[in-house]
Structure 1
Amino acid sequence: MAQIIEHDKLFIGGRWVEPAGAETIEVVSPHTEQLVARVPHATPADVDTAVATAREAFDHGPWPRMTLAERAEVVIRIKDTLLARHREMAELITLQNGSPITFSVRGQALSAVGIFGAALAAADRLQLEEERQGLTGPVLVRRQPIGVVAAVVPWNVPQFTIAGKLAPALLAGCTVVLKPSPETPLDSYLLAEICDQAGLPEGVLSVLPADRETSAYLASHPGIDKVAFTGSVGAGKAIMAAAAQNLTRVSLELGGKSAAIILDDADLSAAVPAIVGGTCAANSGQACVALTRVLVPASRYDEVAAGLTAAFAALKVGDPMDPATVVGPLVTKNQQQRNLDYIRIGQEEGAKILAGGGVPTGRPTGWYVEPTLFGEVTNDMRIAREEIFGPVVCLIRYETEEDAVRIANDSDYGLSGAVFTADVERGTEIARRVRTGTLTVNGFRLDPAAPFGGFKKSGIGREFGPEGLAGYFEYQTVNLPVPPRQP
């Protein structure tokens, strides 16, 4: 058995300190179901210390008072060190949450590097002060850092979601209290080490692994100026309610039930692999952006069903450390049971299992669920409306293009989506009609240089690109003296 990773200190304000309490978090491998690590569980007292340290660093420390270029030099060192240690980071993530190692390298560690790079590029183009002519006289419009940021991140893509908050917050001049999920604290320990080596001043970053109760305490803390959260709709509502006590600003990136619209002229040889890549192959389906509703014209339904059924059946399920694995285990036994419950619900609702439908055979340990494709799904079924967060996908018939758009929009969510067609202009016009934050024509991707976030219950605000960076500033207007009138 591999040696258990032990951490006995918390990273608070750039220092490794003893935790206030004795409680610990035990990290269990989703593949072996064995204990792999143990870290301290941060308490409200630790939150108080971290917030006070961040507050002091923001109010009186050098970080917000450095030039943007000086802060960028530190962030570049963080990015470069993260790149140099990306394999180590990827392996830690796979150890904790079962993400297939090929996805952990590309979609977790290297994607985080890309997000840091895109944030640096956006900052390089940023104008912190702008003098304009107002209606009553000249004005100076200034961007000022928003303050102390609480970054609360999930277990599914921890470094991806951390980078989307930490990079712009640091560049803006904010200080950050990072609260990783109890399922995935180890990668944040490595990130703290990287940031410390990069030369972040004292107080700028703290890392507090903890549960939802500590997250709520952090979000309700009067010393916090902004909460940046990624997670479920239910948790997002709790975070927003906690932050509302102090009118703390929030940005929320929440769930999704995204639609992939296959038009009647689509090339299925390209569409099917893209849909697989945006569903089961996207972190074993544990992705808020997953294309979990596939809308198919009735005239091509059988053809699409056959193609996706064969593709799902061919996916390699297994050890997440095996580079050939496409679908790994789900993060916890509860997540496995949640997926199995939805598979049962789908059958009870009248949907037909075309592929998968249970636990893979020959796997005595691990929280695995087979890549599962449902046919004969209607958009009023629970499996089509509720976020399952696993390798479970629904096929839904439509009759006309207008019908497809209506079904795509008939959702409480609006985070991602795709449209597949031989006519790019037609696909782009469809994209304009779907109320979703990101939509790809003939593919599935996110671009860290472009704004990412959701409509409806999928969230509030945007991350990535200039728009994401803007979320970490407050705007100040300075009314300048009106020049005397010339005779």
Structure 2
Amino acid sequence: MSNDLANAVDRSAFFVGGDWVPPAGTERVDVLEAATGTAFGSAALAGPADVDAAVAAAGDALHGPWGATTGAERATVMRRLAAALKTRAKDTAALVSRENGMPRSLSIGANGFSPPLMLDYYAGLAEGLDADDVRSGMLARVRVRRGPVGVVAAVTPWNYPQALAAMKIAPALAAGCTVVLKAAPETALDAYVWADAALEAGLPPGVLNIVPGGREAGAHLVAHPGVDKVAFTGSTAAGRAIGEVCGRLLRPVTLELGGKSAALLAEDADLDAFLTALPEVSLANNGQTCHACTRILAPRGRYDEIVDAITDTVRSLPVGDPLDKQTRIGPLVSAAQRDRVLGLVTAGRDAGGRVTTGGAVPAGQERGWFVEPTVFAGVDNDSAIAREEVFGPVLCVLPYDDTDDAVRIANDSEYGLGGTVWTTDLDRGQAIADRIRSGTVGINHYALDVLGPFGGVKASGLGRELGPEGLAPYVDLKSVYLTPESR
């Protein structure tokens, strides 16, 4: 680890108004290494007074020089910020892996290089916001003005902390908004990489403010009168609570929530291709991924074959230190998360499910928060293990009778975030994908792309991030009606 991050594992101040500001209170959190359970750093946790200071700084910046910038000027700053993050990418990836157990092979892309990529992409869109849009109507000429929606509360979880922060920060800055980032306590340390990069890039004071904190800080931020928009990623339960607050306040909100996605293997599916992709599609980040395809739908005539093949593949995945390049399954983020996952596995067994591999703490890996990658067979879609979001390395293989039955099972979920269809007939795959009620579906693979809007339906959330659609929630529209002769 570089000296920059080695010296950053103890964070005693918040990044507010472009400077390091001591906390108003004394609450701190020890950040524990997921692979060992031992503390390797600590950070101050924000209280209401710290949130107030961050929101005030963001408001001052919004109404100061930043609020008067052109899209082209913001794009220049954003590209400097992207460059500063890119120089830290590998170290950032390692830091996140220590915090939440994500295998470094995944973290390098998700937490290292995707944030600068998103900043560069939205910098390009920011330049397009400068164009004047004048429309000739029936009664008047209409000038449509695009401005920032205001101060953004970005509330992010611990599972993909850098990428999920970038999905909010990048479009917000492009639109001319200012941001208060409330990071999760479990990944409080890596949040400050944004602060270090902002200082290096010369981001104007108050444009980005960093205040890690717990639920109290998050609730105070979401309801703060100085906030104009909320962008949240996290659990469906928390999203419902935030949605209620924002609804009462008539405050715009984007909610990216939970999932229980299905991988639908058609009769003609290339099983080897699915097995090759399974670790990324169904077990990414040790299962701590909202869009993971943890329900695998297999045609009844191939059910035993598919269960056996998935079992062999999952059993072969190397489990271990997330910093080891060979590791495919690392530890979970915390003891509480490990115990929750093991509790759901026990409940699945007690309900009659058959565990074909896994289901326990790996032998010799009692330190840290490891859970063996686990496969359930012999369960139906009504069982709790097939309906609840486990957020761990646990898969269910469910049989279906025909395509209509498979689509029915895929849609029989309170969630609708991700999904995949596996077939050698791409036209058939597209037709099936169109019938799945979900915000995103992959055909013979699954990969988020910055160009494509990402988000869910039903209990998986409201709104979209990424793509040009991800910029729209941060842009305020004003129609100026001109007389026909106005210039």
**What is the TM-score of this pair, normalised by structure 1?**
0.96
The 3-state SS of whatever aligns with 2:378 is: strand
User: What is residue 155 of structure 2 aligned with on the other side?
Assistant: 152
> 1:439–1:122: structure 2 CA closer, same or farther, 3 Å change rule?
farther
In the alignment, structure 1 residue 271 sits paired with structure 2 residue 269: no
Determine helix, strand or coil for the equivalent of 1:184.
Answer: helix
Aligned to 2:476: 474
- Are 1:200 and 2:203 matched, yes or no? yes
Which runs of structure 2 are paired with 1:299-338 in the superposition (5 Å)? 299-338=301-340
Match of 1:397 among 387, 396, 399: 399
Partner of 2:19: 15
Task: Report if the CA contact (8 A) 1:118-1:464 is conserved.
Answer: no
User: How far apart are the structure 2 equivalents of 1:283 and 1:428?
Assistant: 27
Show structure 1 runs of 4+ deviating over 6 A: none
Structure 2, unaligned runs of 5 or more: 1-5
- Give the CA RMSD over aligned residues: 1.5
In 1, the alpha carbon distance for the partners of 2:353 and 2:30 equals 38
Other-structure match for 1:35? 39
Q: Distance in 2 between matches of 1:426 and 1:9?
A: 55
**C-alpha separation between the residues in 2 aligned to 1:125 and 1:483?**
27
Output the amino acid matched with 2:202.
G
1:136 and 2:139 are equivalent in the alignment: yes
Preserved CA contact (<8 Å) 1:260 1:275? no
Partner of residue 375, structure 2: 373
CA distance in 2: counterparts of 1:117 and 1:396, whole angstroms:
42
Q: Which residue of 2 aligns with 1:57?
A: 61
TM-score normalised to structure 2 length:
0.96
Q: What is the deviation of 1:448?
A: 1.2
Alignment counterpart, residue 173 of structure 1, candidates 162, 172, 176: 176
Give matches, 1:74-473, under 5 Å: 74-126=77-129, 128-280=131-283, 282-473=284-475
**SS of equivalent to 2:145:** strand
Change (3 A) 1:305 1:6: same
- Does structure 2 retain, via aligned residues, the 8 Å contact 1:29–1:36? yes
* Residues in 1 aligned to 2:404 and 2:117: alpha-carbon distance in whole angstroms: 37
What SS class does the counterpart of residue 185 from structure 2 fall into?
coil
CA distance in 1, matches of 2:321, 2:61: 44
Unaligned regions of 5+ residues in structure 1, if any? none
CA distance in 2, matches of 1:242, 1:451: 25
Q: Is the 8 A contact 1:222 1:246 kept in 2?
A: no
State how many pairs are aligned: 481
Aligned with 2:74: secondary structure? Answer: helix
SS across alignment from 2:406: helix
Distance 1:319 1:214, change over 3 A: same
Question: In 1, Cα distance between the equivalents of 2:373 and 2:446?
Answer: 18
Q: Following TM superposition, by how much is the alpha carbon of 1:41 offset from its aligned partner in structure 2, in angstroms?
A: 1.0
Percent identity reads 48
Report how far residue 80 of structure 1 moved.
Answer: 1.4
The aligned amino acid for 2:365 is: R
* Cα deviation, residue 113, structure 1: 2.6
1:131-165 CA deviation, whole Å, 9 max, x = no partner? 11223221111211100000000000000100000
The answer on whether the counterparts of 1:3 and 1:36 sit within 8 Å (CA) in structure 2 is: no
AA matched with 2:199? D
> 1:109-130: CA deviations, max 9, x gaps?
1222332233234334556531
- Per-residue CA distance 1:337-366 (angstroms, 9 max, x = gap): 111011111112211111111110011301
